[in-house]
Amino acid sequence: MNVTGATRLFGLVGHPVRHSLSPAMHNRLFAALGIDAVYVAFDVAPDRAGAVADAIRTLDVHGCNLTVPFKGAVFGHLDRVTRAAEEALAANVIIQHHGFLTGYNTDGEGFVRSFEEELGPLPAGCRAVVLGSGGAGRAIAAALADRGAERIVLLNRSVEQAEDAAAHLRRYFPGVHLEAGPLTRTGFVHAARGAHLAVNCTAGPARAMIEAMPVPEALPRTAPWCDINYWMPAPPHVAALRAEGRPTLEGLGMLVHQGALSFELFTGLPVGTPMLRALLTDGV
């Protein structure tokens, strides 16, 4: 890669971000398509969230992805946000044009496309359990509601945060039954009754709590267990459920579809997900 003064800059803002596959994915795409651009990871201290938007403008970063804990923290500093970002109250993609920042959210769409590609269409009148009510949880709940979900239960360690998320989403989806509950064994057992799928959107620190959930016993056998944490080598419950022949979904597919959506926002060029998946799995 020959970086010059004309090379466009893209990146990922988060903490931590050193484990991310996004730089490898986007830089390989730039190289494969002959685009003069580079994508880097910016590991930013969480207390600097208020400075991120101005840094993007000042350094002329053409576009960036946001991950934990910046999806919501930077939201109020943007000039415009899309409907999907409004629903999630979070942006995971920012496009900069002459200092004007537009926030997008591809989490929900990336998840749904991955689910449909690997497991087939979402069930009609879907009943879902979403573990975690942060930016990714809200985005995925919104995408499921937009696809006709009938009932969505948001579970969170802070029930108040889950209730706020449910109340916010009701304004956009008044016909969907949105509930909030505690992220506990009892809360999961109650929410999982009759569910068509469950999605773990909690971050790494909650791993022990998720491992303690009675997922194999409480979740209906035909309901997929989905975990969006693609960077975990062994996400909770996935191996045990697969050993029983039960449906599961890991986060790499969501990353691939998010990457395709982000790349198109960055460059205007659509890219096939098979190509992206091959780039990610070949030597990464």
- Is residue 3 in some structural domain? no
Of residues 207, 253, 196, the one with CA closest to residue 232? 207
Residue 66 sits in the same domain as residue 86 = yes
- CB-facing half-sphere around the CA of 124: CA atoms within 13 A: 0
- Is residue 199 in some structural domain? yes
Structural domain count, the chain: 2
d(CA 197, CA 162): 18
- Is residue 2 in some structural domain? no
Q: What is the domain-level CATH number for residue 140?
A: 3.40.50.720
What per-residue confidence (pLDDT) applies to 284?
45
What is the extent of the structural domain holding 198?
108-249
Token representation of residue 259: 């990457």
Is 270 annotated as catalytic? Answer: no
Residue 242 sits in the same domain as residue 277 = no
Residue 124 sits in the same domain as residue 84 = no
By the 8 A CB rule, do 231 and 208 touch?
A: no
Residue 260 sits in the same domain as residue 188 = no
What per-residue confidence (pLDDT) applies to 107?
97
Of residues 126, 131, 99, the one with CA closest to residue 115? 126
d(CA 139, CA 108): 5
Surface-to-core class of residue 62, CB atoms within 10 Å of its CB (0-12 exposed, 13-18 middle, 19+ buried): middle
Token representation of residue 72: 């919501």
Residue 112 sits in the same domain as residue 211 = yes
- Is residue 140 in some structural domain? yes
Q: How far is CA 257 from CA 146, 200, 246, 252, 253, in A?
A: 18, 18, 23, 9, 6
For residue 281, the tally of other CB atoms under 10 A from its CB is 11
Residue 94 sits in the same domain as residue 218 = no
Residue 240 sits in the same domain as residue 123 = yes
Token representation of residue 131: 């573990």
Residue 49 sits in the same domain as residue 17 = yes
Q: What is the dihedral of CA 215, 219, 221, 226, to 10 degrees?
A: -70
Residue 133 sits in the same domain as residue 225 = yes
Residue 126 sits in the same domain as residue 64 = no
Residue 93 sits in the same domain as residue 113 = no
Surface-to-core class of residue 208, CB atoms within 10 Å of its CB (0-12 exposed, 13-18 middle, 19+ buried): exposed
Q: What is the domain-level CATH number for residue 78?
A: 3.40.50.10860
What per-residue confidence (pLDDT) applies to 56?
98
- Is residue 96 in some structural domain? yes
Per-position b or e across 130-162, b if 16+ CB within 10 A of its CB: bbbbbbbbbbbbbbbbbbebbbbbbbbbebebb
Residue 75 sits in the same domain as residue 202 = no
Low-confidence ranges of the chain (pLDDT < 70): 1, 283-284
Catalytic residue among 28, 71, 246, 277: 71
